[in-house]
Structure 1
């Protein structure tokens, strides 16, 4: 017996842990719980405390002094007048009450001023400055000699233009006695004569002409566009 050796006993540290796994699991759970509590404590320390929703809002300060009374504004009644057109501003058709009260009635002793009538005033017709009178001086076989007397009723010297129209015929010549001659322009059945010298104010001039194979009565005779007399 004395020669036999005893086998060494295994140590209880690592072998016990290896033989009992529930101990390791329990220790891990405890560590995780501790870490969770530490994390929650740290999070609560960082985030501010939430406001109390149920707390009433702070009261506003009341105004100092006397509060003015509230006056209700009357709502204007709807007018029965026709609606206004766009772009037109409303205007009162009558006087305001204050103007009507302050106006004075005309007294019986005062007379109203003259009122203007609605009818337009007619302007007096002005006689033409230059006029003409037609007549036949001499008639013969195959033709005649006629004349136009030009009278200047204006207050200044005036030039003039005579136009004569006949049914057919041929102009032989035309002239003004005693003054420089003007310009003759023959047309179909007549002619136009433009004066060479102005007629003095209040004076006259005589235009004569020789016409063949035509009636002694002209179809038209004008002096400056005004119809002649005498035919």
Structure 2
């Protein structure tokens, strides 16, 4: 029996741990798992800070720009119900629907009257008209003329009435045709044609006045005022 040797017992302690490296690895993994669970629990227990919370004490608040067109908030009554789609913070009242005004009614009588062409006939020029001019002026008098024009489509007779200032009438004549009838009145004369003036034609009545003004007081042909003065 004395010749038998006992087998050496496995040693415990740091020497055993050092001889088995997988024990160290396993223990490290366990510690990391425990720390991970602890960190997750602490994170879930914390409440997230609000985004619109007040800034830290001691820091000045930046000025908030206010638009000149921003309306002031209108307080709502305590018992008033909020309309769907409207926020209690909305400023002012909702825009009202524009009222479309109907066009004024037009009476059918007025429309027909405005659309109806005017029945008034355009004013036509006179059939016979006259144009006055001074043919020749000399010491003591002048020779005047009234050109009678027939714008109608038929031959027409005519009458000239001529009024002058001062002086006297010496004579009247129409060249190349039979003479008409002359009647002198105070400050003037009238001449009735001896022959008709042809359609679309003209005839010149001339007269000699002494010591009279070259600007007549009046001149008419068939009652229509002469032109040229």
TM value normalised by structure 1: 0.49
Normalising by structure 2, report the TM-score: 0.50
